[in-house]
Amino acid sequence: MILQTERLLLRPYRDDDFEGVHAYGSDPEVVRYMLWGPNTGEQTRHFLVEVQDGARAEPRTKFDFAIELRETCTMIGGCGIYLKGSELLVGEMGYVLNPRYHRRGLMPEAARALIGFGFGDLHLHRIFARCHPDNRPSARVMEKCGMQYEGRLREAELVKGAWWDYLYYSILEQEWRR
């Protein structure tokens, strides 16, 4: 399964994505607000195996995509949508981008394609995403995609030895169709 935008290709991860994934996954600044990382080489290899296995699972509940620039065929990040609930009609969206490609509008472009896939192909009712309150660029991505701010969960999860708050955003299928 491949999703295309004007500048991007969202495609399944491949074994040869190791360098691209490890470039951002091992960078402490990039993963500062992620639940994982910074990754070792072994952790990056494990991630690639995990996402490829997830693509073959039945029923499939994880849809991970490598983000590639169409013009240069350069892998620059990753995104995914993960189905939740007993009916699998809710999806959680996540994303990460190599910092060399920040501030070009690429992440909102990828996220909009992912939202379109979630509602158009997966027939979801609701898509949500969350970010650490200090991660304003991530919150802006969600806002640019038409997601509504729902609120702040206080000390919702213990991450890397600290209790993290989360800002939650969502979009409903009927809002997306408008």
- pLDDT of 178 above 90: no
| 175 part of a folded domain | no
Domain membership flag for residue 76: yes
Q: Would the pTM of this model clear 0.85, i.e. be above it?
A: yes
Classify residue 59: in a domain, yes or no: yes
Look at the chain and report how many structural domains it folds into.
Answer: 1
Whether 140 is in a domain gets the answer no
Question: What percent of the chain lies above the pLDDT cut of 90?
Answer: 92
CATH number at residue 33: 3.40.630.30
Q: How do residues 2-37 score in pLDDT, each as one tens digit? A: 999 999 999 999 999 999 999 999 999 999 999 898
Asked if the structure places residue 172 within a domain, the reply is no
Q: Is residue 72 part of a domain?
A: yes
Segment 29-80, tens digit of pLDDT: 999 999 898 999 999 999 999 999 999 998 899 999 999 999 999 999 999 9
Question: In sequence order, which residues have a C-beta less than 8 Å from that of residue 107 and are 6 or more positions away?
Answer: 77, 95, 97, 141
Domain assignment present for 114: yes
Domain carrying residue 105: 3-125
